[in-house]
């Protein structure tokens, strides 16, 4: 039930275990319950510990797992509630089972009884084998310093003895693409400028270096080839490019070429959509479908513009009624940037020692065909993984 178990035992369809911290975990089997309405009662939870309540299942056929693994759309509610919740996200854990997070709550009593009504998997139910309901201690995620934060912290360490090794050999050519003239700038000053980032290519691209000296860059929405009408361009001072694009349709495409000069060789890169959501985020909760234009329907995956939220059972007075799903390692989940924008990984690619231009053609759409009214896109960013 947890990454490392120290002890397990079973009693009449219930599994009890301790994780490495000594916190209690418990699983209730479906052997004695109907799948669409189940009553679970647990009595072995540690008091004062925040738990996630998870539906545990497996896919019957490997092909179904490959296609539908992150798009389960499980609808459910507690007995007595009038409003249903929808879990759009499922994830596979180290034991080979899949989990869909239903609720979070802090254990205060030794006995917890829940009656959960399931409205189904929207056509996916025949593809899965349900195992049970699991009560699992919430895993706390340590804060990791982002690349943007690292750059701010690194301002005082520009004089690091390794800066010469991190400065690209073609730094003068790159700086000539900006307002700076690389021939008349000292190498140390050039490294400082590039490390923090600078606009190039008539202000439509942003180039920088990460802490290891790997090349990073960002394309404006216009340079990324997003298909939009002229009136969808928005003047926006807080954008690096002074503009962004407002989308009003249920689908859009990214068509561009990644210049070899702006990426490091023999490196795996992740591509991120950098965007802002409108105040009214309703309609953005469901995942988006991303298709590779080269393969179309044969190759696609899912991303989220809004981080999935989990209902909280019996929240305290100072506690929100919903908490973010605590799965930051899953690709396709968005994160807040320190510059006020959001980002979500949409693609990966690997460069070679002789990398030429890399074509990028992606089609993004909402599976339900809803309009992305008010979605603002600044551009596409490329960073080494």
Cα distance between residue 1 and residue 56, in whole Å = 10
Which pLDDT value is given to residue 6?
A: 40
Number of domains in the chain: 3
Confidence of residue 315 (pLDDT cuts 50, 70, 90): low
- Tell me which residue has tokens 């050519």: 173
Which of 165-179, 225-239, 295-309, 312-326 shows the lowest mean pLDDT across its residues?
A: 312-326
Q: Which residues constitute the domain of residue 108?
A: 5-137
- Of 213, 230, 248, which one is at a domain's C-terminal end? 213
Instruction: Work out the average pLDDT over 212-241.
Output: 88
Which pLDDT value is given to residue 240?
A: 95
98 and 151, same domain (yes or no): no
Which pLDDT value is given to residue 109?
A: 66
Neighbours of 58 (CB within 10 A): 14
pTM: 0.82
Confidence of residue 274 (pLDDT cuts 50, 70, 90): very high
9 and 74, same domain (yes or no): yes
Neighbours of 176 (CB within 10 A): 14
- Residue 51: pLDDT over 80: yes
* H helices, E strands: number in the chain: 5, 26
Under DSSP, is residue 66 helix (H, G, I), strand (E, B) or coil?
Answer: helix
- Of 191, 213, 235, which one is at a domain's C-terminal end? 213
- Residue 308: pLDDT over 80: yes
40 and 128, same domain (yes or no): yes
274 and 377, same domain (yes or no): yes
Where residue 118 sits, what CATH number does that domain have? 2.60.120
223 and 330, same domain (yes or no): yes
100 and 149, same domain (yes or no): no
Which of 60-74, 231-245, 267-281, 291-305 shows the lowest mean pLDDT across its residues?
A: 60-74
- Of 198, 213, 228, which one is at a domain's C-terminal end? 213
Beta-ladder partners of 53? 103, 135
Neighbours of 208 (CB within 10 A): 20
- Residue 64: pLDDT over 80: no
- Residue 167: pLDDT over 60: yes
Instruction: Work out the average pLDDT over 83-100.
Output: 85
302 and 352, same domain (yes or no): yes
H helix or E strand, kind and range, residue 338: none
276 and 132, same domain (yes or no): no
């Amino acid at each position: 039930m947890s990454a490392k178990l120290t002890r397990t035992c079973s009693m009449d369809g219930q599994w009890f275990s301790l994780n490495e911290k000594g916190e209690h975990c418990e699983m209730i089997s479906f052997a004695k319950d109907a799948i669409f309405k189940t009553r679970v009662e647990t009595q072995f939870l540690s008091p004062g510990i925040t738990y996630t309540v998870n539906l545990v299942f497996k896919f019957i056929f490997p092909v179904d797992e490959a296609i539908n693994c992150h798009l389960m759309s499980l609808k459910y509610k507690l007995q007595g509630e009038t409003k249903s919740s929808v879990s759009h996200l499922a994830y596979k854990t180290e034991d080979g089972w899949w989990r869909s997070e239903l609720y979070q709550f802090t254990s205060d009593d030794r006995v917890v009884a829940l009656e959960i009504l399931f409205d189904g998997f929207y056509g996916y139910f025949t593809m899965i084998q349900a195992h049970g309901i699991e009560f699992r201690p919430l895993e706390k995620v340590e804060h990791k310093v982002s690349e943007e934060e690292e750059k701010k912290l690194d301002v005082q360490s520009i004089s690091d003895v390794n800066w010469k090794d991190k400065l690209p050999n073609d730094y003068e050519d790159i700086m000539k693409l900006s307002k700076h003239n690389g021939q008349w700038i000292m190498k140390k000053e050039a490294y400082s400028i590039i490390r923090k980032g600078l606009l190039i290519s008539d202000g439509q691209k942003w180039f920088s270096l990460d802490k290891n000296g790997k090349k990073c860059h960002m394309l404006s929405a216009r340079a990324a080839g997003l298909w939009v009408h002229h009136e969808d361009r928005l003047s926006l001072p807080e954008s690096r490019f002074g503009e962004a694009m407002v989308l009003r349709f249920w689908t859009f495409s990214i068509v561009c070429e990644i210049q070899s000069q702006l990426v490091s060789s023999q490196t795996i890169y992740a591509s991120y959509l950098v965007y802002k959501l409108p105040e009214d985020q309703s309609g953005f909760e469901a995942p988006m479908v991303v298709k590779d234009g080269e393969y179309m329907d044969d190759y696609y995956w899912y991303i989220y513009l809004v981080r999935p939220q989990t209902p909280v059972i019996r929240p305290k007075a100072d506690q929100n009624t919903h908490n973010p799903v605590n799965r930051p390692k899953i690709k396709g989940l968005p994160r807040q940037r320190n510059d006020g924008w959001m980002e979500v990984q949409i693609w990966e690619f690997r460069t070679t020692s002789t990398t030429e231009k890399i074509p990028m053609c992606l089609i993004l759409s909402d599976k339900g065909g809803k309009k992305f009214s008010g979605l603002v896109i600044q551009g596409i960013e490329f960073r080494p993984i």
